[in-house]
């Protein structure tokens, strides 16, 4: 692995890691009863994710262009395997750190509620007291939370399955489209733009079937109709589904790229 691929894997890790932390934000919102503020603060991390994404695309596209120009495109599949492995690793690490980050987010929400200033919040986070709290907040998931995966899910199995499919599509969309351009260089620009179509399908699954279901559960917890323990079990299942989705992306990478290459040539 060269330094450029290592940097791309790092960017992929950041993007997937921050995406996984959204589950911690929901738990923090439920515990503090400040859901809107929780997501507003999470948007700061989303900016980091989007910045990483804006760098990843051009660098990866340039790597493919150089590979095609030098006639050495055979290594590209291995590159994408490494990138997908980084996505899976980031999702696993993010899921394991959900208990830690929900504590940190909860503290951040309460601090912002008192001072109502993002700069003050950031200064507090990097001050001695903030760093000390972050250190004390570090924890690992309890065996009870992990064992919850053996029990009946508190969320519909259909929703869990759709989350696996949506996460697989989101993870593989850009990579499959760029790899399709390597398989069919004559239409590589067309193939790269088709990533938005794949992402669109995943977005429909997320926003129509998955997010509304989880949002209703969130409101039910806030209103006292569902317990926090039940909500946490649902989050554990969805986090596990996200991990499975990134693994499934490895299996669908080549078929998706081949399909996109064919579609690009017939549009």
Q: For 15-66, what is each residue's pLDDT tens digit?
A: 999 889 888 888 888 888 777 778 777 787 788 887 877 788 788 888 888 8
Q: Is 25 helix (H, G, I), strand (E, B) or coil?
A: helix
CA–CA separation, 58 and 77 (whole Å): 18
Q: What is the mean pLDDT of the chain?
A: 83
Does residue 254 register a pLDDT over 80? yes
CA–CA separation, 228 and 79 (whole Å): 41
CA–CA separation, 59 and 134 (whole Å): 33
Quote the radius of gyration of the chain (alpha carbons, Å). Answer: 20
Q: What percent of the chain has pLDDT over 90?
A: 22
pTM of the prediction? 0.86
Q: What are phi and psi of 155, to 5 degrees?
A: -125, 150
Does residue 147 register a pLDDT over 80? no
Categorize the per-residue pLDDT at 248 as very low, low, confident or very high, splitting at 50, 70 and 90: very high
The count of domains in the chain is: 1
Whether residue 4 contacts residue 75, with contact meaning beta carbons closer than 8 Å, is answered with: no
pLDDT average, residue stretch 88-109: 88
CA–CA separation, 155 and 214 (whole Å): 9
* Chain segment 157-212, per-residue pLDDT in tens: 888 999 999 999 999 988 999 888 888 888 888 888 888 888 888 888 888 888 88
Does residue 68 register a pLDDT over 80? no
Residues 6 or more apart whose CB falls under 8 angstroms from that of 161 comprise 241
Categorize the per-residue pLDDT at 146 as very low, low, confident or very high, splitting at 50, 70 and 90: low
**Nearest residue to 112 via CA among 39, 47, 37, 46:** 37
Domain ranges, residue 114: 3-266
pLDDT average, residue stretch 83-94: 94
pLDDT at 38: 80
pLDDT at 49: 81
Q: How many CB atoms lie under 10 A from the CB of residue 188? A: 22
pLDDT at 230: 82
Whether residue 102 contacts residue 24, with contact meaning beta carbons closer than 8 Å, is answered with: yes
Whether residue 206 contacts residue 166, with contact meaning beta carbons closer than 8 Å, is answered with: yes
pLDDT at 202: 87
pLDDT at 256: 92
CA–CA separation, 2 and 202 (whole Å): 31
CA–CA separation, 60 and 72 (whole Å): 15
């Amino acid at each position: 692995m060269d330094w450029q691929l290592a940097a791309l894997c790092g960017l992929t890790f950041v993007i997937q890691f921050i995406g996984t932390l959204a589950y911690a934000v929901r738990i923090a919102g439920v515990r503090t009863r400040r859901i809107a503020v929780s997501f507003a603060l999470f948007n700061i991390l989303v900016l980091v994710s989007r910045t990483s994404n804006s760098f990843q695309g051009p660098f990866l596209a340039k790597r493919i262009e150089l590979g095609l120009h030098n006639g050495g495109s055979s290594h590209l599949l291995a590159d994408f395997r490494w990138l997908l492995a980084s996505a899976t690793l980031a999702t696993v690490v993010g899921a394991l750190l959900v208990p830690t980050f929900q504590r940190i987010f909860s503290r951040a929400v309460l601090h912002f509620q008192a001072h109502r200033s993002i700069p003050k919040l950031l200064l507090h986070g990097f001050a001695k007291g903030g760093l000390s709290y972050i250190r004390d907040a570090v924890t690992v998931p309890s065996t009870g939370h992990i064992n919850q995966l053996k029990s009946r899910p508190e969320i519909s199995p259909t929703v869990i399955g759709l989350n696996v499919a949506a996460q697989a599509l989101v993870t593989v969309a850009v990579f499959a489209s760029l790899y399709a351009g390597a398989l069919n260089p004559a239409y590589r620009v067309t193939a790269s733009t088709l990533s938005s179509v794949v992402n669109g399908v995943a977005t429909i699954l997320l926003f129509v079937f998955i997010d509304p279901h989880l949002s209703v559960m969130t409101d039910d917890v806030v209103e006292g109709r569902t317990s926090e323990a039940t909500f946490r079990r649902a989050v554990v299942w969805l986090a596990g589904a996200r991990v499975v989705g990134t693994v499934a992306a490895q299996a669908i990478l080549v078929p998706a790229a081949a399909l996109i290459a064919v579609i690009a040539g017939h549009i």
